């Protein structure tokens, strides 16, 4: 009994108490390096110590529903609106957008580079049955990819052996694509920051259908009383303010601008 108490006290001693905010974000936010720019500034201006949980959009929403995080920053509009409608988040605030790009082998066997739209480019990949790597992890990028396939008129039954669903994050999927010399839909930030490019190249980008809106959703304290809602609102004010605007618009990798700040003055 004595050492049971000892064990319990040992465990408690490891728990950190601090005024912190847990924010579930998508991999692209972290991989782009934007978090390294924003977090120190947030700490300096608001005193909030933001702890990032870098997950896919699906898991981020799940963490928010369970109340394991105080707010989420994700990019999948339909799922976000559902999240708010179900009463898990107080509201949805648009912050910024970046864009998706189609990556593929430099030989471009499917010939996507000259296509006028992303739908045509996807159709070209399907017609050529060129190897394509899909995230397959219910992330925002994965959902985007599936919606493009659907719009392009390629049904999931048409996916043959050329369609590889890897069920991993952006980086791991890019590693697979690099190894298999395959086509893959990625966000621009993760692509530019990815080191193991191999034979891969950016083949298609710029279609407005590839724009990718990021939104901030505080978890509803009415449902989870323990969440740090005060800090979440403070963070939202900061993220939609002038300093954030400057940092987000100014962030670039290899001279390519990654994010465009587009927060409105007041929530919708």
Partner 1 sequence: MADIWDGMRAAFWLIVQLDADLMEITLRSLHVSLTALLIACLIALPAGTWLAVRRFRFRRAAIATLNAFMGLPPVVVGLIVYLLLSRDGPFGVFGLLFTPTAMIIAQVIIITPLVMSITHQAMRELWSEYHDLLISLNTSRSQRVRTLLWDGRRALLTAALAGFGRAIGEVGAIMIVGGNIDHVTRVLTTAIALETSKGDFALALGLGFVLIGLSLVISFLTHSLSQTERSGRW
Residues at the contact surface with partner 1, assessed by CB under 8 A: 3, 7, 10-12, 14-16, 22, 27, 31, 51-54, 65-68, 168-172, 174-175, 178, 193-197, 224, 226
| Separation between Cα atoms, residue 247 and residue 230, nearest integer Å | 23
**Minimum distance between the CB of residue 70 and partner 1, rounded to whole angstroms?**
11
Angle, to 10 degrees, between the axis of helix 140-151 and the axis of helix 118-128? 80
Kind and range of the H or E element at 100? strand 93-105
Nearer to partner 1, 120 or 197 (CB): 197
Nearer to partner 1, 86 or 127 (CB): 86
Interacting residues of 40 by C-beta distance below 8 A, sequence separation 6+? none
Closest CA relative to residue 71, chosen from 187, 237, 254, 182 = 237
Full DSSP string of 176-234: HHHHHT-EEEEEHHHHHH-S--TTEEEEE---GGGEEEEEEEEBPTTT-TTS-HHHHHH
Nearer to partner 1, 126 or 170 (CB): 170
Nearer to partner 1, 22 or 240 (CB): 22
**Minimum distance between the CB of residue 186 and partner 1, rounded to whole angstroms?**
12
**Minimum distance between the CB of residue 264 and partner 1, rounded to whole angstroms?**
30
**Minimum distance between the CB of residue 197 and partner 1, rounded to whole angstroms?**
8
**Minimum distance between the CB of residue 66 and partner 1, rounded to whole angstroms?**
4
Under DSSP, is residue 51 helix (H, G, I), strand (E, B) or coil?
strand
Nearer to partner 1, 117 or 168 (CB): 168
């Amino acid at each position: 009994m004595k050492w049971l108490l000892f064990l319990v006290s040992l465990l408690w001693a490891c728990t950190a108490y601090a005024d912190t905010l847990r924010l579930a974000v998508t991999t692209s936010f972290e991989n782009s390096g934007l978090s390294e720019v924003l977090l120190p500034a947030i700490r300096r201006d608001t005193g909030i110590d933001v702890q990032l949980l870098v997950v896919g959009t699906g898991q981020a929403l799940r963490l928010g529903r369970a109340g394991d995080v105080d707010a989420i920053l994700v990019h999948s509009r339909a799922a976000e609106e559902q999240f708010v409608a179900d009463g898990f988040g107080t509201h949805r605030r648009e912050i910024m957008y970046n864009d998706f790009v189609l990556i593929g082998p430099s030989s471009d066997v499917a010939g996507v580079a000259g296509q006028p739209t992303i739908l045509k480019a996807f159709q070209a990949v399907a017609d050529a049955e060129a190897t394509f790597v899909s995230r397959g992890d219910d992330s925002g990028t994965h959902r985007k990819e599936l919606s493009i396939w659907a719009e392009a008129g390629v049904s999931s039954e048409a996916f043959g052996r050329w369609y590889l669903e890897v069920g991993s994050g952006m980086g791991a999927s890019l590693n697979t694509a690099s190894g298999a010399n395959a086509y893959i839909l990625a966000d621009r930030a993760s692509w530019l920051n990815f080191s193991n490019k191999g034979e891969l190249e950016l083949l298609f980008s710029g279609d407005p259908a590839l724009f990718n809106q990021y939104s901030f959703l505080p978890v509803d304290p009415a449902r989870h009383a323990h969440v740090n809602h005060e800090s979440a609102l403070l963070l939202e004010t900061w993220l939609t303010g002038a300093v954030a605007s400057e940092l987000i618009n100014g962030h670039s990798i290899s001279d390519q601008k990654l994010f465009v700040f587009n927060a409105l003055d007041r929530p919708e």
